[in-house]
C-alpha cells in the first residue's frame, strides 16, 4: 500500500513583520521589508531585481555589516547572488500582500531572458509611509509623512463619500490639527499588528469596514464631537455600524468564558452527555435577546446586550445607550474584562455582562 507523503505546509509571515524593529540583528527581514518598500517608493516608475539588490547592499544595515572589514572587497554581483533568495522571498511576500506587483516583463541587461519589472501599488505606498512615520526620529520629516497620509485619506473621501470614510478622514484631520500625531501613528501600528494576511485585510481594517469601533475609541472627545456635527443620515449610519458590530460580538462570544458554562455544561462522559444542555447552554444568546435585537434594530443610539437574569431564571437582555457603552470600553482600557450593566427588559432586575473584547483592544496593553 502506497503511503501518502507528508506535506509540509508553507508558512507565510504575517504583514505585521513589516512593522517590527530588530535593528542590528542577523537575518532581520523586518528591516529588509522596510528597505524594499522604501526603494519601491522612490522608484515609482518601477525597478528590476538587480537595481534593488545594488541599493540594498549599500543601504540595508545587515547587508552592509556582512560585507565590511575582510569582506569589503566582495564583488557586487557576488553580494547580490548570496542574498538573492532572501530578497526574492521578501519580494514574493510583498506581491502576495498586494504591496508590489509585476507591471511587465523586460529583457535582462546581459541577455534576452525576460525578467520581472516591479512596481509599488497604492497600498504599498501607503504602508511604506506608515512605516516611515513610525520609525522616523525627525519631527519635521514625520509631520511631512503624516501630511501625505492625510492627503491619501482626503483623496479617498473625494471619491467615496460613505459615512465611515467621512468620519475616519475627519478624525485624522482633527487629530492632526490638535497635535495628536502620536495617536495617529499608534493607531496605524495597532492595525498592522492585527491578523492581516493580505492587502485587502489591511484595507478593511484601515478603512473601518472591520472593527470600526477601533477608530471611534482613538480619541473619545474628538470622536463624539465629529458624530454630533454629522448630518442625521450619516450619524445614524455611524451609530448603526457601531451598534451592529457590538451586538454581533455578543452573538459570537456570549458568555463563552463563563465559569458556569464550563462547570455545568462540559460532559464528564460522552455517553452520559445530554446534548439538550449544550443547545440551551450559556454559550449562545437566547431567543429573547434575538427578538429584542430585532425589535430595537432601528433604534441606532441603543445596544441590546444579552445577559442572564437570576430573577427570571433565564437568559434575558438589557438596553444600553451606545455613548455610555463606548465610554465604558474607553474607561476600562486596556482591561476589557470589566462589565456593562442595565435593567432586565422583562422584570427590571439589575443585569451585567462583560464589555466587548476585540483583538485590537488586547494590543493596547503593550
Question: pLDDT tens for residues 142-189?
Answer: 999 999 999 999 998 998 889 999 999 999 999 999 999 989 988 888
CA dist list (Å): 169 to 77, 156, 163, 205: 46, 9, 10, 14
Place of cell 497620509: 149
pLDDT the model gives residue 236: 94
What's the pLDDT band for 359 if we cut at 50, 70, 90? Answer: low
Whether residue 1 has pLDDT greater than 60: no
What lies within 8 Å, CB to CB, of 103 at 6+ separation is 46, 117, 118, 119
pLDDT the model gives residue 255: 59
Q: CA nearest 214: which of 234, 240, 237, 186? A: 186
What's the pLDDT band for 264 if we cut at 50, 70, 90? Answer: very low
For 340, which DSSP code? E
State the Cα–Cα distance between residues 100 and 124, nearest whole angstrom. 6
- In this prediction the pTM is 0.79
Over residues 9-25, the mean pLDDT reads 70
State the Cα–Cα distance between residues 52 and 40, nearest whole angstrom. 8
The dihedral formed by the CA atoms of 86, 92, 97 and 98, expressed in degrees to the nearest 10: 130
pLDDT the model gives residue 261: 40
pLDDT the model gives residue 113: 85
Return the percentage of the chain with pLDDT > 70, whole number: 83
Whether residue 206 has pLDDT greater than 70: yes
Q: How many residues does the chain have?
A: 366
E-state strands within the chain: 100-107, 114-120, 302-309, 314-321, 339-343, 350-354
State the Cα–Cα distance between residues 90 and 31, nearest whole angstrom. 11
Cβ distance 128 to 58 under 8 Å? no
Which of 71-75, 95-99, 282-286 has the weakest average pLDDT? 282-286
Place of cell 501613528: 185
Helix %, strand %, coil % of the chain (to 5): 55, 10, 30
Higher pLDDT: 251 or 364? It is 251
What would the grid cell of residue 50 be? 538587480
What's the pLDDT band for 247 if we cut at 50, 70, 90? Answer: very high
pLDDT the model gives residue 249: 85
What lies within 8 Å, CB to CB, of 91 at 6+ separation is 36, 49, 52, 100, 118
Q: pLDDT by residue (tens digit) across 324-348?
A: 888 888 776 655 557 889 999 999 9
State the Cα–Cα distance between residues 351 and 311, nearest whole angstrom. 10
What would the grid cell of residue 13 be? 509571515
pLDDT the model gives residue 94: 95
pLDDT the model gives residue 18: 87
Cβ distance 100 to 33 under 8 Å? no
pLDDT the model gives residue 314: 87
Would you tell me which CATH number, out of the four given (2.60.40, 2.60.120, 1.20.120, 1.10.10), belongs to the domain 15-120?
1.10.10
What's the pLDDT band for 266 if we cut at 50, 70, 90? Answer: very low
State the Cα–Cα distance between residues 349 and 328, nearest whole angstrom. 20
E-state strands within 157-210: none
State the Cα–Cα distance between residues 148 and 188, nearest whole angstrom. 14
Domain with CATH 1.10.10 in the chain: 15-120
Strand partners, 314: 309
Q: pLDDT by residue (tens digit) across 47-74?
A: 999 999 999 999 998 999 889 888 888 9
Q: What are the backbone dihedrals phi and psi of residue 111, each rounded to the nearest 5 degrees, phi first?
A: -155, -175
pLDDT the model gives residue 257: 47
> H or E element: which one contains 225?
helix 220-229
Amino acid at each position: 500500500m502506497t503511503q501518502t507523503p507528508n506535506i509540509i505546509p508553507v508558512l507565510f509571515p504575517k504583514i505585521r513583520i513589516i512593522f517590527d524593529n530588530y535593528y542590528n540583528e542577523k537575518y532581520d527581514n523586518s528591516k529588509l521589508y522596510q528597505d524594499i518598500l522604501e526603494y519601491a517608493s522612490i522608484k515609482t516608475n518601477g525597478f528590476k531585481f538587480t537595481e534593488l539588490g545594488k541599493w540594498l547592499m549599500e543601504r540595508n544595515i545587515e547587508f552592509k555589516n556582512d560585507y565590511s572589514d575582510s569582506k569589503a572587497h566582495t564583488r557586487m554581483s557576488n553580494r547580490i547572488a548570496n542574498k538573492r533568495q532572501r530578497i526574492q522571498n521578501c519580494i514574493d511576500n510583498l506581491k502576495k500582500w498586494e504591496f508590489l506587483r509585476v507591471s511587465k516583463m523586460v529583457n535582462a541587461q546581459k541577455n534576452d531572458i525576460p525578467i520581472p519589472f516591479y512596481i509599488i501599488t497604492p497600498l504599498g505606498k501607503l504602508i511604506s509611509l506608515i512605516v516611515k512615520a513610525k520609525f522616523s526620529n525627525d519631527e519635521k520629516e514625520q509631520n511631512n509623512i503624516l501630511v501625505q497620509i492625510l492627503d491619501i485619506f482626503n483623496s479617498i473621501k473625494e471619491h467615496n463619500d460613505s459615512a465611515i470614510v467621512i468620519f475616519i478622514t475627519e478624525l485624522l484631520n482633527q487629530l492632526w490639527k490638535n497635535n495628536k500625531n502620536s495617536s495617529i501613528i499608534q493607531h496605524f501600528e495597532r492595525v498592522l499588528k492585527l491578523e492581516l494576511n493580505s492587502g485587502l485585510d489591511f484595507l478593511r481594517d484601515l478603512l473601518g469596514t472591520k472593527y470600526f469601533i477601533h477608530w471611534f475609541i482613538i480619541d473619545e472627545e474628538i470622536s463624539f464631537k465629529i458624530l454630533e456635527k454629522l448630518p442625521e443620515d450619516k450619524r445614524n449610519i455611524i451609530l448603526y455600524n457601531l451598534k451592529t458590530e457590538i451586538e454581533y460580538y455578543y452573538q459570537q462570544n456570549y458568555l463563552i468564558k463563563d465559569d458556569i458554562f464550563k462547570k455545568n455544561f462540559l460532559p464528564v462522559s460522552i455517553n452520559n452527555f445530554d446534548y439538550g444542555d449544550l443547545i440551551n447552554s450559556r454559550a449562545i444568546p437566547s431567543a429573547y435577546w434575538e427578538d429584542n435585537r430585532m425589535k430595537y434594530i432601528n433604534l441606532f443610539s441603543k445596544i441590546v446586550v444579552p445577559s442572564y437574569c437570576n430573577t427570571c431564571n433565564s437568559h434575558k437582555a438589557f438596553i444600553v445607550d451606545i455613548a455610555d457603552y463606548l465610554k465604558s470600553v474607553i474607561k476600562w482600557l486596556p482591561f476589557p474584562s470589566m462589565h456593562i450593566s442595565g435593567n432586565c427588559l422583562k422584570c427590571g432586575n439589575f443585569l451585567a455582562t462583560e464589555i466587548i473584547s476585540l483583538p485590537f483592544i488586547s494590543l493596547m496593553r503593550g
